[in-house]
Structure 1
Amino acid sequence: MFFCFQATLRRAHKYYKNEFPWHILAACTQVVLLAVTLTCSARAVSLPAWYLNPPQSDEQALYGAGEGSNFQEARHAALNAIAEEISVTITSKMERRENLSQNNSTSSYDKQVNQRLTAEIQKIRFNNAEVVMNEATGGKVYVLVSVDRAALAESQKAELERKLAATDELYKSSKNDPIYRKFQKLKSIDGEKAGILSLVAIMQGLDGSYDLAPVRAKLQAYARDFLAIKDKVVVHVQSDGSMPQIKDALEAAFAAESIKVSATAPSRNPDALVVRYTAELQNREVYSSKMSKLSVTVKTQAGSGDIVATNRIESNGSSLTDFDKAAAAAVAAFAKRVREVGAVNIIGLN
């Protein structure tokens, strides 16, 4: 049919070649016909019904459909769909709880879960995943995967219990430690809290009957102990006598992080930490600009005499007029760096 149409165009061109540019019309027509042909070919590929309308997840299993250029890619996409469903279920529950409750502790709990939820869901290993259907069509592979809900809940419960056991062991080991080691361990536990709460949320998303109250009670007890230890820590900053501005910057940083600062050297206080620093200031002139480089070594010592940490912080400052302003800029940069790193981290309480 196409060739007959083309022949007709040639005859029309022969008779009317001086009246109308039929060769342009012929070329355009060929392009249109080719586009129509390709479109029809694309529409001819029919996707599997189970991919377009996969089974709904229920109390027994979770379902996910995926596509890819090969089987592994399609299976991975299907498992990602299941992970996304778990995430949406948990997020929806938290949103409903937020709308129904004005409890600040509940809101705080949900915020901590949100911080780590995506990361924890991505860690899920769907070891019991089963490929229910798969089909290759139109250069693509389509896969339908099911995951046994109870088996997945059991594996997540085992992971949660493993983390709780490790946390409990770390907590118990801190009982007879000096205060700085207790602080370090309890701070580490506090950092793991969001991950543990996210695992609890995943458990609830898979098994609505799971009771999170005991886990939350245990984590709250750890948090109270951490605050109590933090309240006991006292820091005394001892200057080397060269740059008192460094002492001021350190003390301000400790105060900002709610760490008590003692103006006098501690006497017989096992909870006190002595922070000593040495500062070195180097000045140089570069193309008429005054440049200052400040190097500060901070050493922290416990009341027992143990060296808790030694850190070195460098900062720079410049001025177009004099070295005093360049040095002041370097000190300001030092104070900013301390705030960024965290005074608690600089003295080794991390």
Structure 2
Amino acid sequence: MHIQRVIPFLLFGLFITTQVQASHWWQEPPADNEQYLYGLGQGNTLAEAQQQALADISGKLSTSISASLDRVTQDTGIAYNDSVRRQIRSELKDIELSQFQLVKNRTEKTQTIALVQLDRTKLASLWSNQISEATNKLSSLLQTKTITDYQQWAELKKSLAFAEQSRNLSIRLFALNGTQPGPDFHYAIEQLLKKHPMKVALKGSIPQLNRALLQQFKQSGFVSCSSNCNLTISYQDSTTHDLMFGEYLSSLKVIYEVYERQSLIATSEKSVQVTSVSSHSSADEGSVSALVKDLQNRGLFEVVGLEL
């Protein structure tokens, strides 16, 4: 009888111990170390809980990134403004952290809890390879110390986004395992473009369109020029009038041409039609406004036919 009483007691004790151990990882998750980062998440499904666990890891990396940016600024003298800092941290939310595994999970009523383990070494290796590939591509672009033509300028301009991604990835790697970032190619390309801007002349007869084009110059990295220019953007415009259902119709056609020195490198045209109940003059104003709006919506390069 005594043994029969003890066995149920031991089984009950074992059951209680098991329950405590099962919840222990959630109440006190493993501490991060040099090999792994851990994240906890909770959601309506396992997939949702796992995603929240990865967001937990992203939050830890985000905190480390802030400190890493300060370190990089001290070492290189390159200051990163608040906009860049927010961008690098926010990108963690948009990337899928690879090299992780679901360690434990459990479901209580309608909620699922997940513990995710991220392998620092494997993720660092993946990011390092991506940075190395970017370094090889970007370093070849920066072998030149000057910009001689539009094609070279455009190639550098297009590479800014790629260089920015590489820079941000280097900062994330630094936050992950302390690997010192290499050269900031994004900063180097920006400085080269500032030192050797694309100087562009504008020729056209519509004041409102000219003002809009000059504004686009500034946004695109062009500098307005009157002599010894790299490019010349010119346009010819023609307007025809008609009546349509008792309203005044203005049809405006513009032909853009882009010259590099004396060579035509791009051309395009745009036509707009606007009606007015008052006069052809009013319709003309509306057609010019429509042309400017099209420029603002599509951007300089697409409107004039330049590739970028």
Following TM superposition, by how much is the alpha carbon of 1:187 offset from its aligned partner in structure 2, in angstroms? Answer: 0.6
Aligned residue identity for 2:295: V
More displaced stretch, 78-87 vs 334-343 = 334-343
- 8 Å CA contact retained: 1:317, 1:329: yes
Distance in 2 between the 1:262 and 1:227 partners?
A: 15
Q: 1:284 to 1:204 in 2, by over 3 A?
A: farther
Q: Where does residue 149 of structure 1 map in the other structure? A: 120
Distance in 1 between the 2:52 and 2:286 partners?
A: 53
Following TM superposition, by how much is the alpha carbon of 1:182 offset from its aligned partner in structure 2, in angstroms? Answer: 1.1
Q: Where does residue 225 of structure 1 map in the other structure? A: 192
Q: TM-score normalised to the size of structure 2?
A: 0.73
Distance in 2 between the 1:337 and 1:325 partners?
A: 19
Q: Where does residue 153 of structure 2 map in the other structure? A: 183
Selected match of 1:194 from 151, 159, 164? 164
Q: 1:182 to 1:345 in 2, by over 3 A?
A: farther
Distance in 1 between the 2:190 and 2:83 partners?
A: 16
Alignment of 1:195-344 (within 5 A): 195-207=165-177, 209-212=178-181, 214-216=182-184, 218-230=185-197, 233-239=198-204, 244-245=206-207, 248-249=210-211, 252-253=214-215, 256-257=218-219, 259-263=222-226, 272-285=230-243, 289-303=247-261, 305-307=263-265, 309-315=266-272, 317=274, 319-343=276-300
Distance in 2 between the 1:339 and 1:104 partners?
A: 37
Following TM superposition, by how much is the alpha carbon of 1:146 offset from its aligned partner in structure 2, in angstroms? Answer: 1.0
Q: Where does residue 74 of structure 1 map in the other structure? A: 49
- 8 Å CA contact retained: 1:235, 1:273: yes
Aligned residue identity for 1:194: E
Task: Indicate the percent of aligned positions where both proteins have the same amino acid.
Answer: 18
Q: TM-score normalised to the size of structure 1?
A: 0.65
Q: 1:140 to 1:339 in 2, by over 3 A?
A: closer
Q: Where does residue 64 of structure 2 map in the other structure? A: 89
Following TM superposition, by how much is the alpha carbon of 1:210 offset from its aligned partner in structure 2, in angstroms? Answer: 2.6
SS in 2 for 1:66: strand
1:188-244 Cα distance to aligned partner (Å, 9 max, x none):
12233432232122112212x3323x422x4433222212331xx3333444xxx54
Distance in 2 between the 1:160 and 1:220 partners?
A: 16
- 8 Å CA contact retained: 2:200, 2:230: yes
Following TM superposition, by how much is the alpha carbon of 1:298 offset from its aligned partner in structure 2, in angstroms? Answer: 1.6
Q: 1:313 to 1:228 in 2, by over 3 A?
A: farther
Q: 1:60 to 1:222 in 2, by over 3 A?
A: same
- 8 Å CA contact retained: 1:113, 1:201: no
Q: Where does residue 131 of structure 2 map in the other structure? A: 160
Distance in 2 between the 1:251 and 1:300 partners?
A: 13
The structure that has the greater radius of gyration is 1
Following TM superposition, by how much is the alpha carbon of 1:300 offset from its aligned partner in structure 2, in angstroms? Answer: 1.5
Aligned residue identity for 1:114: R
Distance in 1 between the 2:63 and 2:93 partners?
A: 11
For structure 2, the residue ranges without an aligned partner over 5 or more in a row are 1-19
CA RMSD after TM alignment: 3.9
Q: Where does residue 98 of structure 2 map in the other structure? A: 126
Distance in 2 between the 1:125 and 1:310 partners?
A: 45
Q: Where does residue 106 of structure 1 map in the other structure? A: 79
Aligned residue identity for 1:259: F
- 8 Å CA contact retained: 2:201, 2:224: yes
Distance in 2 between the 1:48 and 1:114 partners?
A: 36
Q: Where does residue 10 of structure 1 map in the other structure? A: none
- Number of residue pairs aligned between Structure 1 and Structure 2: 285
Following TM superposition, by how much is the alpha carbon of 1:82 offset from its aligned partner in structure 2, in angstroms? Answer: 1.6
